[in-house]
Structure 1
């Protein structure tokens, strides 16, 4: 109608800008959701393993008609691999919490960008988590199956609850590793040079 009266059609700059802002916020939400999930997974892993403890009472001798018993207690502190596991997951949790808070503030302000420093630190945290989970998994396997060659007996038949909680913690930690890997891949894709630039 404007063309008929010799006027230029009115531009609608508000709609593309609003659409671009919504798209920018949605793209910015993806890393925050992944990071929040990684934060949850690593926090669960650290807390469950950190509170993991079980006692087991066994009869060690019979004197006359009286049973002599001894109580054996196991806790995560007994194995350096489990201590490293808890520390690695706690560091990853604190790091992800800090980054989520900073990214959330940037998203509210409309400044969504992938920082190279965060990408590099994400890689370090992923490696820390992966090594902690691998060390704990090797000890968990030894506790479950023992080692026939070294004549080490399995202990999970005596400390079943400890092993079950340790397994839950391991699964949660490996989920955190997978989420950190996804974050690294997403960040690498965002920072990759695009064709035609």
Structure 2
């Protein structure tokens, strides 16, 4: 009888420990997810802000009449390139989405919401990745030009513009990687929850 009571007590204690370890794991998983989302928010908002305010004007001498130089100003701005405009828009969307997901996350907890957020995360990752890729292709053209089409590089003249654009691109690619990791983590968490509920 005492052995049975002891076995029952051990079983209850093991069950409590298992429940406690599950709770700790779920809290750690939730904190990791929030950290990833916050880091992605910082990266994408940095990328959007840097590119949105990226503008440089230079003044060069185009001719000399007598002793008087004729000056002309040239401006490089993100609005002049559709790929950069798209880059700013998708990174701003990603930043707003991650902010809303963090603020509304605690109020919407169920499996349907988790699946919907995961699908939305995948869509946002795709937007950020395509925006970064499109902007990177234009940045490469600005840096190296295209000798076959006889397009000259501009980064030798608009150096500050190109440096700020490069930093924005790095931030966007970091944001895309963080979103990818977050998607993988969420998919694994959803799979583990599904397996646990079926057992």
How far apart are residue 55 of structure 1 and its match?
0.6
TM-score normalised by structure 2 residue count:
0.86
Which residue pairs with 2:82 in the alignment?
Answer: 80
Is the CA contact (8 Å cut-off) linking 1:52 and 1:165 kept in structure 2? yes
2 CA distance for matches of 1:82 and 1:147? 19
In structure 2, relative to structure 1, the CA distance for the partners of 1:148 and 1:161 (3 Å cut) is same
How far apart are residue 53 of structure 1 and its match?
0.5
Partner-residue secondary structure (3-state), 2:148:
coil
Is the CA contact (8 Å cut-off) linking 1:24 and 1:112 kept in structure 2? no
TM-score normalised by structure 1 residue count:
0.87
2 CA distance for matches of 1:86 and 1:128? 11
Is the CA contact (8 Å cut-off) linking 1:62 and 1:68 kept in structure 2? yes
Task: Give me the CA root mean square deviation.
Answer: 2.5
Matches within 5 A, 1:31-70: 31-70=33-72
Structure 1's unaligned 5+ residue stretches are: none
1 CA distance for matches of 2:186 and 2:96? 20
**Aligned: 1:122 with 2:124:** no
Partner-residue secondary structure (3-state), 1:87:
helix
Matches within 5 A, 1:35-184: 35-103=37-105, 105=106, 115-184=114-183
Which residue pairs with 1:187 in the alignment?
Answer: 186
Partner-residue secondary structure (3-state), 2:132:
helix
Partner-residue secondary structure (3-state), 1:54:
strand
Structure 2's unaligned 5+ residue stretches are: none
Alignment counterpart, residue 26 of structure 2, candidates 24, 27, 30: 24
The count of corresponding residues between Structure 1 and Structure 2 is 191
Partner-residue secondary structure (3-state), 1:115:
helix
Q: Could you say which structure has the higher helix fraction?
A: 2
